[in-house]
Amino acid sequence: MIIGDNSKLVMIGDSITDCDRARPIGEGLFGAYGNGYVNLVNALLGAVYPEKRIRVVNMGISGNTVRDLKNRWKTDVLDLKPDWLSIMIGINDVWRQFDSPLQKEKHVYLDEYESTLEELAAQTLPELKGLVLMTPYIIEPNRNDAMRATMDKYGAVVKKLAEKYNAVFVDVQAAFDEALKYYHPAALAWDRIHPNTAGHMIIARAFLKAVGFTW
């Protein structure tokens, strides 16, 4: 596995990362990691690679866009001095364009999304041993669905930046697409976004596979 011994892994994002984590820092006992994929990643790393002593920190905040991440980057990423950083952001950047179409001040369009995510990645890379970029997603198999089509464009930006900065790329959308060969979206998420435990395990599995986790 490419995450080295005694590494500190900070995972930042929106509600999918947050999942009721502890505040101000998502680390510690009694549900501090939340009830989502970060908790599963932490548990599996601890169970399968105990000798590596990998320290996981959850810094997701529900409702965040990449614009919000930029506003809290110093306190919630740089000041924590991670060895590895995982970023999964973009769902709300897209979603607000559809569920709040008249509130344009909440919309983060593709150009701002790309420039901001690139700025954060480029700024932080010199301080890191490794960067993981995870795509946003919607649990919707119809690629012609308007929100799915837009989400795919944001995911393509993540892939492009991962290639440009030699980051680990996690195609979360592709992982859900594979599951959707067998599941209706409602079996994984009531709103096509916030997954149940099986959905969070799909995300965790995609992340762990990308960093070379093996049983």
Q: How many angstroms separate the CA atoms of 42 and 37, rounded? A: 8
- Alpha carbon distance, N-terminus to C-terminus of the chain: 11
Averaged over successive runs of 10 residues, the pLDDT of the chain (215 residues) comes to 98 98 97 98 98 98 98 98 98 97 96 98 97 98 98 98 98 98 97 98 98 96
Catalytic annotation present for 194: yes
Cα separation, 172 vs 199, in Å, equals 10
In whole angstroms, what is the distance from residue 69 CA to residue 124 CA?
13
Domain boundaries, the chain: 8-210
The whole-angstrom separation of Cα 19 and Cα 31 is: 10
**What is the reported pLDDT for 192?**
97
Catalytic-residue membership of 99: no
With helix as H, strand as E and coil as C, how does the chain read? CCCCCCCEEEEEECHHHHCCCCCCCECCCCCCCCCCHHHHHHHHHHHHCHHHCCEEEECCCCCCCHHHHHHCHHHHCHHHCCCEEEEECCHHHHHHHHHCCCCHHHCCCHHHHHHHHHHHHHHHHHHCCEEEEECCCCCCCCCCCHHHHHHHHHHHHHHHHHHHCCCEEECHHHHHHHHCCCCCHHHCECCCCCECHHHHHHHHHHHHHHCCCCC
Whether the full predicted model's pTM is greater than 0.85, yes or no, is yes
User: Residue 15 catalytic?
Assistant: yes
Check: CB of residue 131 under 8 Å from CB of residue 125. Answer: yes
Q: Among candidates 23, 80, 87, 20, which has minimal Cα distance to 55?
A: 80
pLDDT of residue 109: 98
Which residue among the candidates 7, 14, 15, 93 is catalytic per the annotation? 15
Which of 99, 100, 115, 191 is catalytic? The answer is 191
The CATH-assigned architecture of domain 8-210 is 3-Layer(aba) Sandwich (3.40)
Nearest in space to 81 (alpha carbons), one of 9, 21, 1: 9
